[in-house]
Amino acid sequence: MTAAAGPGADRSTPFPVRVGDLIRIPESEYCYGVGELLMRITVVPASAHVPGLEWVELAGVPIGHRGREGDPRSALVRASALRRPGRVIRLPRPGS
């Protein structure tokens, strides 16, 4: 998994994504794909919790325009994009 710290990275805030969350990321904030990425997260690497990340590789299942799940994939996402309002959607966990 890829993790790089960059200048000005927020080193005090915990990583905002958990397994089961949906992320909504514009094309300019992730590699590699076309258009907005809507993905249900299935793997958050241990390295994601290291303070000061600039990029993090997340794994999950993309959700298409009609709500259909696609094939599992990974995406290299700008960590700061995940801290912006509306980018992480926390779904209720079954039984909670």
pLDDT in tens, 39-77: 999 999 888 888 888 999 999 999 998 899 999 999 999
Please state, rounded to an integer, the average pLDDT across all residues of the chain. Answer: 85
- pLDDT value of position 59: 96
Q: Which residue has the higher pLDDT, 48 or 23?
A: 23
CA 10 to chain centre: 16
Residue 20 region, left (φ>0) first, then alpha (ψ -120 to 50), else beta?
Answer: left
Average pLDDT over residues 76-96: 88
17 band by pLDDT with thresholds 50, 70 and 90: very high
Amino acid, res. 42:
T
* 20 in Cβ contact with 91 (< 8 Å): yes
Beta partners for 61?
A: 40
* 69 in Cβ contact with 62 (< 8 Å): yes
Q: Which residue has the higher pLDDT, 27 or 52?
A: 27
- pLDDT value of position 3: 43
C-alpha count within 13 angstroms, C-beta hemisphere, residue 26: 6
2 band by pLDDT with thresholds 50, 70 and 90: very low
